[in-house]
Chains A and B, each alone.
Chain A
């Protein structure tokens, strides 16, 4: 094995090393698992331990999670109660103590539940490419993530959802936790009893978390009643392309997603 590990002291080191074929290790739950199997030659690993990326800030209705914030840290933060079910649905406690927000944005299906939640929350991803820091809306980030291997994630930010407007459910094969059969995150803000600005994200229903825009449209302007929810549920899988894996078949995912969506919204 020829592995070199560099703890990046300045974010600008990271892209330089990645240009030479390096890989960023955040919590290690994806990168080290890969390193432990298959060929390793020439692997250069870059840790982000000393960059101060492990801070959570919440002020003025805006939340910022550093890329190195772990699931365990989110699950203990009283300001982030709406994200506790998300963080606690990812792996067992040991995985949660290691897995990070930044890493989760790169997790392939059937992983990446935090990414689905952040997609529903319309998060903005802050990236650093060696020279400049830029921001990308999460939907664009998820679409391009394979091409973003010469940048590192600094943080993600989003507006705190109105009380009770964020809902989350993850269907699993083995309770209480496993990889996802289907993950549903929904932001359902209401104005005068009507839904305004619905955002619905699905995990494990495509290569990465995707929005269910047709279902969102079906809910827009409607009261959150059975009829509107049923109409949205009928459309929930239309923009998905789930895969067969050890946890569920694509067929099963398509069958079960509307059922769980209906239950989540009628609960």
Chain B
């Protein structure tokens, strides 16, 4: 493989030698000998096992919780409910001013998705905790549930999350994250073709081989250490301190090796409850998702539905793009308001289009809260955009590579977000890819460059 160092050579320091060289992973020896230490590879005397009692319903009012029989199971040490949590309502991204707090650590008045955590059992063994969990009696008043983003936005839809008051996240007073540039409606009128398509995806579970979990251990001097496989150590520390109303310096997090994450371990779910349990019992506590819990309640990649309407000219120029995008956040915000903003920032794709109209909705439904996963907010959008690009190229009988080169960003172009393009390289990337794939690219397009837009 030839590395095209000539591009942007002026922007790169000399003497870079690492790209293209194979290096042994620094953790390889630990991995192949089994000595790499994951969070659970530790022994603590007196360890308590935490098992969660979860909602069997998608949407229900909690009428009563009876833990009396569970407390009598041999080996059960303590049972936690919402009343034990100092600041029960939180949202992970309150740390970057995403508001309001909208999610309980332990549900108390109602449950908003199937598998939501309600009661935490602490027992001497995992089996005893499971036996006790089966003996907690919770009575529910089942409510109608909504599972579809567009259904959820209808006025008659059941209200999922009262902290928002509506089934969508509000962005600076707006019902969705918006981009407005030029005048799409006039451009559609002037276009040779108008192409409108719908794309959608389902939630995707990361399914890491190591399930989400942590162990919290009381240290000396009223401090607590948490061994966690979180991918977001400081988010976890800060959120936990807020939830527990604890001085930050009392909490210590030890992370590092994660047995597969892919974004599925950035939410703050197991640690606050485990910290609380360790504080209240003064014993080490392990809270580990079972495989079934990992599949059912760990946040997946959000399902999305995307409508793209394009105004296309016979010569290959896209003159207008209107995108209406719905992100299924599930019952709570987690990282989805941020993911939806990323989706809006990612549209209309790496193409210079003079008229752009984007609405990205972050919608609440009674599904498992969605959150981060490898390129969340943009991956499904890219799938939709690039399938759309192929459809547009086919409509006018143009080579799809050439079609993309023609519309690609050039340095100096104005993006729909009103930021001037700099350091673009898409044209060169497509040229190199066509070359490697033996794709017959016309000389006219081979001569194009990201550095300037041809006349």
Q: CB-CB < 8 A to A39: which residues of B?
A: 130-131, 133-134
Residues of A within 8 A of B127 (CB): 1, 40
Query: Which B residue sits closest to A40, measured CB to CB?
Result: B127
Flag whether B128 is at the interface (Cβ < 8 A).
Answer: yes
Q: Does B292 contact A (CB under 8 A)?
A: yes
Residues in A neighbouring B128, C-beta threshold 8 A: 1
Q: A41 an interface residue at 8 Å Cβ cutoff?
A: yes
**Chain A residues whose C-beta falls within 8 Å of the C-beta of B130 in the assembled complex:** 37-40
- Contact between A41 and B131, CB atoms less than 8 A apart: yes
What chain B residues lie within 8 Å of A38 (beta carbons)? 130, 134
- Taking CB atoms, residues of chain A closer than 8 Å to B125 are 1
Q: What is the number of contacts between chain A and chain B, taking CB atoms within 8 Å? A: 18
> Does B290 sit at the interface, judged by CB under 8 A?
yes
Question: Measured between alpha carbons, how far is A39 from B133 in the docked complex, in Å?
Answer: 8
Query: Interface 1/0s, chain A 21-63, versus B by CB < 8 A?
Result: 0000000000000000111110000000000000000000000
User: Which residues B103-137 have CB closer than 8 A to chain A?
Assistant: 125, 127-128, 130-131, 133-134
Residues in B neighbouring A41, C-beta threshold 8 A: 73, 131
Consensus secondary structure, chain A interface: loop
Q: How far is the CA of A37 from the CA of B290 in the complex (A)?
A: 8
Provide the bound-state CA to CA distance between A40 and B134, in Å.
10
Give chain B interface residues in 274-309, CB to chain A under 8 Å.
290, 292
Quote the shortest CB–CB distance from A222 to chain B (angstroms): 43
Give every chain B residue within 8 A of A37 (Cβ-Cβ): 130, 290, 292
A41 to B134, CA, bound (A): 10
Chain A contacts with B in 140-173, Cβ cutoff 8 A: none
Shortest distance from the beta carbon of A245 to any chain B beta carbon, whole Å? 13
Report B22-65 residues with CB < 8 Å from chain A CB: none
- Bound-state CA distance A38–B130 (Å) is 6
A residues 166-192 near B (Cβ < 8 Å) are: none
B48-103 with Cβ < 8 A to chain A? 73
User: B234-259 vs A: 1/0 string, CB under 8 Å?
Assistant: 00000000000000000000000000
Most buried by A among B127, B128, B130, B292: B127
B121 to chain A, nearest CB (A): 12
Query: How far apart are A2's CB and chain B's nearest CB, in angstroms?
Result: 8
Residue of A nearest to B295 (CB): A246
Tell me how far the C-beta of A9 lies from the nearest C-beta in chain B, rounded to whole angstroms. 27
A40 to B292, CA, bound (A): 17
Residues of chain A with a CB closer than 8 A to B134's CB: 38-39
Q: Report chain A residues within 8 Å CB of B131.
A: 1, 39-41
User: In the bound complex, what is the Cα–Cα distance between A245 and B414 (angstroms)?
Assistant: 49
The smallest C-beta distance from B94 to any residue of chain A, in angstroms, reads 34
Residue in chain A with minimal CB distance to B133: A39
Identity of the chain B residue whose Cβ is nearest the Cβ of A37 in the assembled complex: B290
Separation of A79 and B122 alpha carbons in the complex (Å)? 54
Chain A residues contacting B73 (CB-CB under 8 Å) are: 41
Bound-state CA distance A51–B442 (Å) is 77
CA distance A202 to B128 in the complex (A): 40
Q: How many angstroms between the C-alpha atoms of A1 and B290 in the bound complex?
A: 17
Residues in A whose Cβ lies below 8 Å from that of B133: 39
Cα distance A38–B126 in the bound complex, in angstroms? 10
Distance of A163 Cα from B451 Cα, bound (Å)? 71
Name the CB-closest residue of B to A3: B127
Q: How far is the CA of A1 from the CA of B133 in the complex (A)?
A: 13
In the complex, the chain A residue whose C-beta lies closest to that of B128 is A1
- In the bound complex, what is the Cα–Cα distance between A38 and B290 (angstroms)? 10
Tell me the smallest distance from the CB of A57 to a CB of chain B, in Å: 39
Chain A's nearest CB lies how many Å from the CB of B59? 22
Lowest 9 CB-CB distances: which A-B pairs, in order?
Answer: A1-B127, A39-B134, A40-B127, A39-B131, A41-B131, A39-B130, A40-B131, A37-B290, A1-B125
User: 15 extra interchain contacts, Cβ-Cβ under 8 A, other than A37-B290, A38-B134, A40-B131?
Assistant: A1-B125, A1-B127, A1-B128, A1-B131, A37-B130, A37-B292, A38-B130, A39-B130, A39-B131, A39-B133, A39-B134, A40-B127, A40-B130, A41-B73, A41-B131
Chain B residues in the interface with A (C-beta under 8 A): 73, 125, 127-128, 130-131, 133-134, 290, 292
What are 6 A-to-B residue pairs whose CB atoms are below 8 Å? A1-B131, A37-B290, A37-B292, A39-B134, A40-B131, A41-B131
